[in-house]
Amino acid sequence: MADSFILWLHGLGDSGPANEPITNFFSAPEFKNTKWAFPTAPSAPVTCNRGAIMDSWFDISNSPITSKSVRDENDVLKAVHDVHAIVDAEIASGISPGNIFICGLSQGGAMAIASVLLYPKTLGGGVVFSGFVPFCSPVAKRVSSEARKTPILWCHGKVDTLVPFEAGQDAYKLIKQIGMRCEFKAYPDLGHSLEDEELRYFASWIKNRLGSSSEVANHKFFCRLFNLCST
């Protein structure tokens, strides 16, 4: 039975299965019972690509994408609802919310941060690569006190021309203003792509949080055992 869950959300025009090689970076024993999911976004016309139909979590009106880009929040919220349904199903199967991670690249990274911000429980973490916050209106009031406890890792290349580095910096400032923990990793020579260094750190970051979750679980187990034996 799985004891942890990692949900990976792909970028615009990509697919879930094409990203599955990411799991090769998660060979540590801590991930032996980790369940992964690589869903593919629905096909839809994308405005910034002249209405071309492609796998997309929500419509994007213009490119490059900045923190001030206009977005259809209803489109975003519908996709967030679908992500939350995936997470809810894993929790119902017995996986602790503290061992669930929502992660993604580019548009998938935007989906990851949106889904973490609006999820009502504290999760193990959210990880964003070359992403952006896909909301135009203020989002802080919509973030629950439990969601504010979810840690965030944000990785962004300084020479990204599709989602400029400034979009990542603006997102970091917003996340900190909300009161959430966020580690921001800048990669000086990286454009709009993933590199092995990022993925190695990604695996390490999640492994460290799985360890913390496991210690809490073990502590609760021994407390229950002690109470049972002392009755």
Distance CA 223, CA 208 (A): 23
Contact 132, 67 (CB under 8 A): yes
Catalytic residues: 106, 160, 192
pLDDT of res. 35: 98
Q: Which domain holds residue 57?
A: 4-229
**What's the domain count of the chain?**
1
Q: What CATH number has the domain bearing residue 19?
A: 3.40.50.1820
Residue corresponding to tokens 């939350």:
84
Question: Which CA distances in Å does 152 have to 142, 155, 161, 162, 210?
Answer: 17, 10, 23, 22, 14
CA-to-CA dists, residue 200 to 25, 91, 166, angstroms: 6, 27, 24
- What's the pLDDT score for residue 211? 58
pTM of the model: 0.90
User: Quick one: pLDDT at residue 1?
Assistant: 83
Per run of 10 residues, the mean pLDDT along the chain (length 231 residues) is 96 98 97 98 95 96 84 91 98 97 98 98 98 89 97 98 96 96 98 97 97 44 41 30
Cβ 118 vs Cβ 102: under 8 Å:
no
